[in-house]
Amino acid sequence: KEVKAGAGYSGGHGPGNWRASAELGGGALYDMGVYAINGARYATNMEPIAVRGKQWSEREEMYSEVDEFTEFELRFPEGVTAFGETSFGKSTNYLDVDAEEGWYKLRPMQSYSGVRGETSDGIKLPADPNHQQARQMDNDALGIKENSKPLVPGEDGLRDIRIVEAIMESSKRGGEWIDL
């Protein structure tokens, strides 16, 4: 009934880096927050019906145009809620899912490799040695070659970006709920 997800890293980006440029699509939410959003969507197998968010920067000299931090809440059908965070100022990489009959956690939840987890009934999910982005890119190439549907179609990414934009709008409106 509740999901918590975070994706971010502690670091800085110098002048000219796309991650610090609004025009180039920078900001923590666009760069890393999409992983937390997608994790919540995947874990619930639902699409959010409303969102709200708060964005800010602590290092204005680096992130005057974009968010350094974003916190958000996604409201799903059936009373399910997800709380997310993303940052360029804090290392975070987790997915916690509390369901009606137990829980599971992934730490890290998104990484080139090594995703691992545990469940409330004591099961340990060993680190996945596969490079998940390489697997996805291989599948994309195979889809093009064989004219077949990819594992993750572009429409899925578009849904994530619509949620990102709604979170940004909510932040501009002082954290008000935005219906999707």
pTM: 0.91
Number of domains making up the chain: 1
Contacts of 40 (CB under 8 A, 6+ apart): 3, 5, 48, 74, 82, 84, 95
Paired tokens of 88: 């360029």
What pLDDT, on the 0 to 100 scale, is given for residue 131? 79
Q: What does the alpha-carbon distance between residue 68 and residue 92 come to, in Å, rounded to a whole number?
A: 13
What pLDDT, on the 0 to 100 scale, is given for residue 136? 85
What pLDDT, on the 0 to 100 scale, is given for residue 123? 95
Q: What does the alpha-carbon distance between residue 18 and residue 35 come to, in Å, rounded to a whole number?
A: 18
CATH number of the structural domain spanning residue 72 = 3.30.360.10
Q: Which amino acid is at 23?
A: E
pLDDT (tens, 9 = 90+) of the chain, 180 residues, equals: 999 999 999 988 887 899 999 999 999 999 999 999 999 999 999 999 999 999 999 999 999 999 999 999 999 999 999 999 999 999 999 999 999 999 999 999 987 778 889 999 999 988 877 777 888 889 999 999 999 998 888 899 999 999 999 999 999 999 999 999
Q: What does the alpha-carbon distance between residue 36 and residue 73 come to, in Å, rounded to a whole number?
A: 11
What pLDDT, on the 0 to 100 scale, is given for residue 143? 92
Q: What does the alpha-carbon distance between residue 52 and residue 175 come to, in Å, rounded to a whole number?
A: 5
> In the 8-state DSSP scheme, what is residue 127?
P
Exposure string over 48-64, b if 16+ CB within 10 A, otherwise e: beebbbbbebeeeebbe
Give the domain extent around 6: 2-179
Q: What does the alpha-carbon distance between residue 42 and residue 62 come to, in Å, rounded to a whole number?
A: 32
